[in-house]
Amino acid sequence: GGFEDRMPDQMSGGQRQRVALARSLIMRPRLLLLDEPLSALDAKVRVQLRDEIRRIQLRLGITTLFVTHDQEEALAVSDRIAVMNAGRIEQVGTPEELYLRPASAYVAGFVGLSSAVPGRATGTSVDVWGIQLPVQGEPVVGEVDVFVRPENVRLVAPGDHAVPAIVQESTFLGSFRRTLVRTADGSLVRLQHSAGDRVEFDEAVHLTIDAVPVSVRPAAPDA
CATH number, position 164: 2.40.50.140
Q: Sign of torsion, CA 182 95 176 133?
A: negative
Buried b (16+ CB within 10 A) or exposed e, 101-119: bbbbbbbbbbbbbbbbbbb
Cα–Cα dist 90/81, whole Å: 10
Q: How confident is the model at residue 3 (pLDDT cuts 50, 70, 90)?
A: low
Residue 221 pLDDT = 75
| CA proximity to 75, closest of 87, 93, 61, 62 | 93
Is residue 24 domain-resident?
A: no
Is residue 65 domain-resident?
A: no
| CA proximity to 161, closest of 169, 173, 150, 153 | 153
Dihedral (Cα; 197, 200, 206, 207), 10-degree rounding: 60
Is residue 169 domain-resident?
A: yes
Q: Where are the alpha helices (DSSP H) in the chain?
A: 13-25, 43-60, 71-77, 95-100, 105-110
pLDDT, greater one: 21 or 2: 21
Q: What percent of the chain has pLDDT over 70?
A: 94
Beta carbons within 8 Å of 95's beta carbon, 6+ residues apart: 74, 75, 78, 81, 111
Q: Does residue 2 register a pLDDT over 70? A: no
Cα–Cα dist 41/188, whole Å: 31
Beta carbons within 8 Å of 41's beta carbon, 6+ residues apart: 13, 14, 17, 49
Query: Are 64 and 32 in contact, with CB atoms under 8 Å apart?
Result: yes
Which structural domain, as residue segments, surrounds residue 202?
114-223
Q: How confident is the model at residue 8 (pLDDT cuts 50, 70, 90)?
A: low
Q: Does residue 122 register a pLDDT over 90? A: yes
Q: Does residue 144 register a pLDDT over 60? A: yes
Query: Are 66 and 78 in contact, with CB atoms under 8 Å apart?
Result: yes
DSSP string, 119-163: EEEEESEEEETTEEEEBPSS-EEEEEEEEE-GGGEEE--SSTTPE
Is residue 61 domain-resident?
A: no
Number of independent structural domains in the chain: 1
Is residue 124 domain-resident?
A: yes
Question: DSSP 3-state assignment of 209?
Answer: strand
Is residue 200 domain-resident?
A: yes
Q: Does residue 11 register a pLDDT over 80? A: no
Is residue 32 domain-resident?
A: no
| CA proximity to 63, closest of 86, 41, 36, 33 | 33
For residue 175, what are the β-bridge partners?
none
